[in-house]
Amino acid sequence: MATSLQGTTVLVTGAGGGLGKVIATAYLEAGANVAICDIHEERLAAARSELEGTGRFAAFNTDVTSEEAVAKLVGDVAARFGRLDILVSNAGMTDKFDPVGAVSKETWDRIIGLNLTGSFLAFKAAVNAMEKQSPPGGTIIQIGSTASYHGMSSGVAYAASKHGVAALVKSTAGYYGAQGIFAIGLLLGGMVDTNIQDGFAALGGFNTEAFAQSAAAGFKPEMAVKTADVAKYCVFLADRGIAESSNGSLIRFNKNLPVA
């Protein structure tokens, strides 16, 4: 496995803070060129202040639910650094733990629009860029969840969105692997050192009754997956041989909770 990612260009979506920023920083420390996007300008400004001194960092204010904006983002990253080697599709938000009978269409549309449609748009733009660049190829890492396969780890909207991105990974891996474009999903367990609370705040809290029935109700801080460990694994997947060997994989990264 390569010890330095010098000359490798990485784009991490939703990376103004939280897990995305931790992943972006890990790639920077490994020597890569790193671009991030977010819709929170204050977070982007803080990230620029902290990371632009490397000379290998760029931050863009981008709404990942807009196809035009995402296409422009990928074009801007390629223009800045010459190509796009790795996309980490991280942008997303949690839901309120509402089951299907209680979730509003507004919440459903918002969660699906960001988590699933936003990931689709990022995949589409990245694949198109990776096909055309010379040499062609690249790696896409989708941040998934225990909710990508387990129905009682979240509300229905989040579970549907994260089941959806698992299908996005598998389809992309199947259609584009022969072209050297690999797709892998990391199905993460609960984390406490990230900005998940922002999602609850944006949606006006959460459904306490439904939460009490969910698998998340028994979650304790010691069960948490560390964002730094997720970032290390993302850097590990930068190795082309590892990425090719992992193409199409949905890797459970959750401290075996729920037990396999």
Give the number of domains in the chain.
1
pLDDT for position 37: 98
pLDDT for position 258: 83
pLDDT for position 211: 79
pLDDT for position 2: 45
Q: Is residue 136 part of a domain?
A: yes
Q: Is residue 197 part of a domain?
A: yes
Question: What CATH number is given to the structural domain containing 159?
Answer: 3.40.50.720
Tens digit of pLDDT per residue, the chain (260 long)?
445 999 999 999 999 999 999 999 999 999 999 999 999 999 999 999 999 999 999 999 999 999 999 999 999 999 999 999 999 999 999 999 999 999 999 999 999 999 999 999 999 999 999 999 999 999 999 999 999 999 999 999 999 999 999 999 999 999 999 999 999 999 999 988 887 666 666 677 788 888 788 878 788 888 899 999 999 999 999 999 999 999 999 999 999 988 88
Q: Is residue 149 part of a domain?
A: yes
What is the SS3 assignment for the chain?
Answer: CCCCCCCCEEEECCCCCHHHHHHHHHHHHCCCEEEEEECCHHHHHHHHHHHHHHCCEEEEECCCCCHHHHHHHHHHHHHHHCCCCEEEECCCCCCCCCCCCCCCHHHHHHHHHHHHHHHHHHHHHHHHHHHHCCCCCEEEEEEEEHHHCCCCCCCHHHHHHHHHHHHHHHHHHHHHHHHCEEEEEEEECCCCCCCCHHHHHHHCCCCHHHHHHCHHHHCCHHHCCCHHHHHHHHHHCCCHHHHHHHCCCEEEECCCCCCC
Q: Is residue 259 part of a domain?
A: no
Q: Is residue 248 part of a domain?
A: yes
Q: Is residue 52 part of a domain?
A: yes
pLDDT for position 1: 42
pLDDT for position 3: 57
Which residues are tagged catalytic?
Answer: 158, 162
Q: Is residue 4 part of a domain?
A: no
Domain that holds residue 143: 9-253
Q: Is residue 3 part of a domain?
A: no
